C-alpha cells in the first residue's frame, strides 16, 4: 500500500482553508475517484510546524500513484499543490516495507 499525505499548515488566512477544502480536495477526489475525508489536526506536540488539516489518498503501489500523476488530470493536480506550496506539506508513505 502506498499513500500520499497532505497536511495543511495553520495560517491566519481563512481563504487558504476555503481553497483547500473547496478546490484542492475535490480535485484530489476526482483524480483518485473516491471520497477524500479532511481531518482536523488536534495536536502536533513534537513538530515545530503547526498543522490545521490533513487528508490522504491510498494506492495499491507507488507505480499506480506515479501513473495517475502523469495523466493530464494528475499534472493539473500537481500544479494545484505547487500553488499551495508554502501552506502545505506533502509526504509519500510506502507500507510495503
Angle at alpha carbon of residue 59, lines to 54 and 60, rounded to 5°: 145
Examine the pLDDT at 13 and tell me if it is beyond 90: no
Region 63-70: mean pLDDT is 94
Calpha distance 37→54 (Å, rounded): 8
What share of the chain has pLDDT > 90, as a percent? 84
- Entry pTM: 0.90
CATH code for the domain defined by 2-94: 3.30.70.100
Region 41-56: mean pLDDT is 87
What share of the chain has pLDDT > 70, as a percent? 99
- Decide: 28 and 76 in contact? Cβ < 8 Å: no
Examine the pLDDT at 15 and tell me if it is beyond 90: yes
Amino acid at each position: 500500500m502506498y499513500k500520499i499525505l497532505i497536511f495543511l499548515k495553520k495560517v491566519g488566512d481563512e481563504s487558504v482553508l476555503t481553497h483547500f477544502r473547496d478546490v484542492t480536495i475535490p480535485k484530489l477526489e476526482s483524480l483518485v475517484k473516491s471520497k477524500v475525508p479532511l481531518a482536523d489536526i488536534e495536536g502536533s506536540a513534537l513538530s515545530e510546524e503547526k498543522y490545521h488539516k490533513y487528508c490522504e489518498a491510498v494506492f495499491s503501489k507507488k507505480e499506480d500513484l506515479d501513473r495517475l500523476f502523469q495523466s493530464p488530470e494528475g499534472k493539473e493536480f500537481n500544479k494545484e499543490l505547487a500553488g499551495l506550496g508554502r501552506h502545505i506539506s506533502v509526504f509519500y508513505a510506502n507500507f510495503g516495507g
